[in-house]
Amino acid sequence: MNNLVPKTEWIKTWSDQGVGWIQLSHENKLNPLSAGFILAIKDAAINFDYDQSIGCIIIIGSEKAFAAGADLKEMVKLNYASVSQSRYIENGWLDIPKIQTPIIAAVKGYALGGGCELAMMCDFIIAREDAKFGQPEINIGAIPGAGGTQRLTRSIGKSKAMFAVLTGDMMSAEEAEKNGLVAKVFKNDKFDVSLNEIALKIANQSKPLAKLAKQAVNVAFETTLEEGIRSERALFYSTFALEDHIEGMESFSEKRKPVWKNK
247 is catalytic: no
List Cβ neighbours of 111 (8 Å cut-off, separation of 6 or more). 61, 65, 66, 67, 68, 105, 118, 119, 125, 131, 132, 133, 134
- 97-119 burial, b for 16+ CB within 10 Å, e for fewer? bebebbbbbbbbbbbbbbbbbbb
Catalytic residue among 65, 70, 111, 173: 70
Has 157 been annotated as catalytic? no
- Considering the candidates 20, 92, 106, 137, report the single residue annotated as catalytic: 137
Q: Residues 20, 114, 115, 148: which is the catalytic one?
A: 114
Angle, alpha carbons 230-232-235 (nearest 5°): 110
Q: Which of 61, 115, 117, 199 is the catalytic position?
A: 117
Q: Is 74 exposed, middle or buried (0-12, 13-18, 19+ CB in 10 A)?
A: middle
- Give dist(CA 209, CA 236) in Å, integer: 10
* Residue 69 annotated among the catalytic residues of the structure: no
Three-state DSSP class for residue 54:
coil
Active site residue 113: no
Q: Is 48 left (phi over 0), alpha (psi -120 to 50) or beta?
A: alpha
Any idea which residues carry the catalytic annotation?
70, 114, 117, 137
